[in-house]
Amino acid sequence: MDDRLLPLNSSFIHEIIRAMGLPNNGLTQPVIRFFFEKSTLQFANLVLGLDREIEQHGSMQGAKWLLHNFVTGFDVSGAELIPPAGPLIIASNHPASYDGMVIAACIPRKDFKIIIGEIPPYQFLPNVSKYAIFSPPVKNTFGRMQTIRNAIRHLKSGGALLIFPRGGIEPDPAFMPAPDAEFHHWSRSLEIFLRSVPETQVLITTVSGVISKKIFNHPFTWFRKSRPDRQRLAFMYQILRQALSGKELFGLRPRITFGELLAGETTLPEIEDAARRTLEKHLNLQKVHPVTLPERASAQD
């Protein structure tokens, strides 16, 4: 057994408690473990497999390996816009769940990284972490500035960087209303990156179909009231259900549109306008490239 399995599992238990808005104490932990530990152990095994797969084959193949357990495949439009080299920001909406994995599965670059929230499970995943630039909570001003510096350094080296500019969970365009409602909250850090590395191109991206509507309406999500919090609970429950069953359960087939590649002096309002155009294109698109996820053996120690 991988020595990381049990501490990683405990870390996932803590994340569930936090997402449910419950106190993390001696009363809640045994209850959550009783209901979810079989699922979290299975998921922890999968995530450790992902870490090994990324070590052996890189982020693109690792993402495809993990996605096979959770979706039937995915559909892509605009992949020809992805530059093969040079500083690149992939700016995407963030319905959460598998969105980052779906995007990673489309980026054939070894210099790909993602800005992602700093949560405890990553300390057990060194190979996944190599492809991440961690962003601490908003109140940690020094840590957030360090994230910006690390991102600028990566872009200056010619790397590709996935960023979810909202910094929070956005509606899934597949079935949720007003999927563009958060675009005007996209972070001004985009402008900082572009001023610091002006040769950077920005690839505007839309992802949908990563949350099951059935699970979003499940009573488990009623622990929280706000749409983002319910969405977080929905994708956690969705993942755990599928990890326990060992197969895809909800007929999920995400869609991704790489809509516009912006270059030169680009402002945040221009990026927001491009995001709205890309979303409209995404919702009306008829022609897509289907991606099948081939079965692969689990990554071994």
Give pLDDT tens digits for 165-214: 999 999 999 999 999 999 999 999 999 999 999 999 999 999 999 999 99
R_g (Cα) of the chain, nearest Å: 19
CA atoms within 13 A on the CB side of 82: 22
Q: Residue 285: what pLDDT?
A: 84
Q: What is the DSSP letter of 272?
A: H
pLDDT at 254 over 90: yes
In a domain, 216, yes or no: no
Which amino acid appears at position 10 of this protein? Answer: S
| Residue ranges making up the domain that contains 70 | 5-210+222-288
Cβ atoms < 10 Å from Cβ of 297: 7
For the record, the structure tokens of 249 come out as 């359960």
In a domain, 80, yes or no: yes
Asked if 42 and 246 touch (Cβ cutoff 8 Å), the reply is: yes
Q: Residue 276: what pLDDT?
A: 98
Report d(CA 105, CA 165) in Å as an integer: 20
Rounded alpha-carbon distances, angstroms, from residue 290 to 36, 76, 195, 256: 34, 6, 36, 10
In a domain, 301, yes or no: no
Rounded alpha-carbon distances, angstroms, from residue 107 to 131, 147, 261: 12, 22, 14
Report d(CA 212, CA 234) in Å as an integer: 8
What is the domain-level CATH number for residue 264?
3.40.1130
Is-above-0.85 flag for pTM? yes
pLDDT range class, residue 299, cuts 50, 70, 90: very low
Domain count along the chain: 1
Backbone angles phi, psi at 189, to 5 degrees: -60, -25
Give pLDDT tens digits for 146-158: 999 999 999 999 9
Give pLDDT tens digits for 228-247: 999 999 999 999 999 999 88
pLDDT at 296 over 70: no
In a domain, 295, yes or no: no
For the record, the structure tokens of 297 come out as 């053996």
In a domain, 300, yes or no: no
pLDDT range class, residue 297, cuts 50, 70, 90: very low
In a domain, 94, yes or no: yes
Give the chain's mean pLDDT.
94
In a domain, 297, yes or no: no
Q: Residue 292: what pLDDT?
A: 81
Residue-by-residue DSSP string for 14-40: HHHHHHHT---STTHHHHHHHHHHHHH
Give pLDDT tens digits for 39-94: 999 999 999 999 999 999 999 999 999 999 999 999 999 999 999 999 999 999 99
